[in-house]
Chains A and B, each alone.
Chain A
């Protein structure tokens, strides 16, 4: 187990290094482009030369990369061109807001999708199973921006129940979080429910479940004590991997509802060519995604006794 964890952590570090190279190459190879983005399109060539020289941009590429990575490692993420502030100071609160939103999504998503998936998988092919699978196809077919529009049309303009923006200008309120959470859950629960259903349906066909039914155990007990234990291993991984998907989803939802989170920051930075913010956001997003993948792998091994006791 310890060997596995250190192996996975090593792989994660390697992935992060390669990703950092990719981000660096993508955004910083063209130094004239960097200078134009920082100093603005109306800067003169001389001004850009002076800035580039002062910041060491004429050094060889590998030297610049190592220096860039060193700054990243100690948390010096540079200055935002658009917000005129250190990137780290902007990123912190934004990440906290997105973490709150993400937590809300998982609090709703996990019970809803697991319950529906288990109910559908318990009796494969039943009427409830058909209803759940067709409705999950429909909800995953409506992209987040479209369901934002639909839900806003119903709850904001039609019924006047909920606010249409989630700026949180008057302090944190749960009311403003309802619609963003609803949109994200609506798009994703179908996928998680289908995965749970597949896992549950597979377990229900195994011999040990059949034996439990045949020896006369109450059906309730068969499901809760025997089937669920194995059926919930695969959905655990699926749910962990939804963190990576959520980082995509928040870009759309946060920009639609004007929620001041990480996704809105990345979008605003990329629309305004705020290069150091884009770099910091990209690295943070990949870091979060890769660490949840690693956690999912380690957790899966731990939960699955067939691997754990080998």
Chain B
């Protein structure tokens, strides 16, 4: 019975998955661009997770207003022993604490919105690319029409109509970036549908949806992961821009874009209120873009 053992496939275990993940991480180590990106993202994820312990104050605690950065070192007697490293805003809220707590907001909604957009976009793309025919025509036409809107114009109209709330922001992002994802997944599906393993599954009599989700989607993951990374960056920009325009998440909970919007009118006298949230959001977006670039570099190499 020696033949039988060679024929059975090793069952995919969590150990094998872990080994695979470690291997792809080792690949990433070859690209310093990708590593830098991953480092920046991990830094912000750690900040968001540990916000409770590392933030000096609560996100909405009102302390001493109008403090400039490092005021405690300037011999200013009003400042309590807990120092305001990055100063405070017009309501006396500690900016460092708000940036730390605000990382939770952006790192919750950006991945969530991207995931929603990917779910909708992938299903549409798989259906268009695999089923072809009128499904493809209708879905592609819908995508063309949504993509003909300038992105931010579409966001502004949707938010102005339905109001600014977390759910509406996720909806708007899904609506606006779903079609772009659909085009990518559709292209990949068109390429993969002629492979032998798809033909095998069809011969087996698998249902179309099973073929799309189990056979095609996992094999399209390479370019999709790179795009998802870039898109996370775009979505972070979008959430920031909506906050900046006053269409973002409702106050008072900190959100980087909203912090910049609130402090804009005081930027002349107190530039620190706008400067630090800008640095925070730019660095996070840079992390996503560098990681995407590193991943692309690796995927092109082999």
Contact = CB atoms under 8 A, between A and B. Distances in A.
B148 to A, nearest CB: 5
Contacts of B33: 134, 137
A133 B244 CA distance: 28
Interface string B189-227: 000000000000000000000000000000000000000
Interface string A246-262: 01110110011000000
A264 B282 CA distance: 23
Interface string A261-278: 000001101110100001
Interface in A127-148: 133-134, 137-138, 140-146
A149 B152 contact: no
A interface secondary structure, majority = helix
B161 A252 contact: no
B274 interface: yes
Nearest to B159: A270
Contacts of A244: 148, 150
Contacts of B285: 141-143
B121 interface: no
B246 to A, nearest CB: 6
B246 A271 contact: yes
Contacts of A285: 149-150, 153
Interface in B279-293: 279, 281-282, 285-286, 288-290, 293
B247 interface: yes
B149 A19 contact: yes
Interface string B154-175: 0011111100000000000000
Contact of B268 (A157, A256, A278): A157
Contacts of B271: 149, 153, 157
Interface of B: 33, 144-145, 148-153, 156-161, 233, 237, 240-241, 244-247, 257, 260, 264, 267-268, 271, 274-275, 278-279, 281-282, 285-286, 288-290, 293
B245 A149 contact: no
A256 B244 CA distance: 9
B286 A286 contact: no
A15 interface: yes
B157 A289 contact: no
A152 B257 CA distance: 17
B156 A141 contact: no
Given A19-B145, A137-B286, 4 more contacts: A23-B157, A27-B157, A145-B278, A247-B153
16 contacts: A15-B144, A19-B148, A137-B293, A143-B237, A143-B241, A146-B278, A146-B281, A149-B267, A149-B275, A157-B268, A251-B245, A252-B245, A255-B245, A271-B160, A285-B150, A290-B148
Nearest to B237: A143
Interface string A42-71: 000000000000000000000000000000
Contacts of A137: 33, 286, 289-290, 293
A141 B282 CA distance: 6
A266 B148 CA distance: 17
Interface residues of A, number: 47
B257 A145 contact: yes
Q: Which of B159, B160, B241, B286 has the most chain A CB atoms closer than 10 A to its own CB? A: B160
Nearest to A33: B161
B161 A26 contact: yes
B245 to A, nearest CB: 6
A42 B290 CA distance: 51
A278 B160 contact: yes
A248 B260 contact: no
Contacts of B161: 26-27
A181 B41 CA distance: 30
A45 to B, nearest CB: 22
Kindly list the 8 A-B residue pairs having the minimum CB-CB distance in the complex, ordered from nearest.
A248-B152, A270-B160, A141-B286, A247-B150, A146-B278, A145-B244, A141-B285, A143-B237
A129 B76 CA distance: 50
A252 B145 contact: no
Nearest to B245: A267
A143 B237 CA distance: 6
B240 A143 contact: yes
A7 B297 CA distance: 39
A18 interface: yes
A138 B260 contact: no
Contacts of A27: 157, 161
A143 B275 contact: no
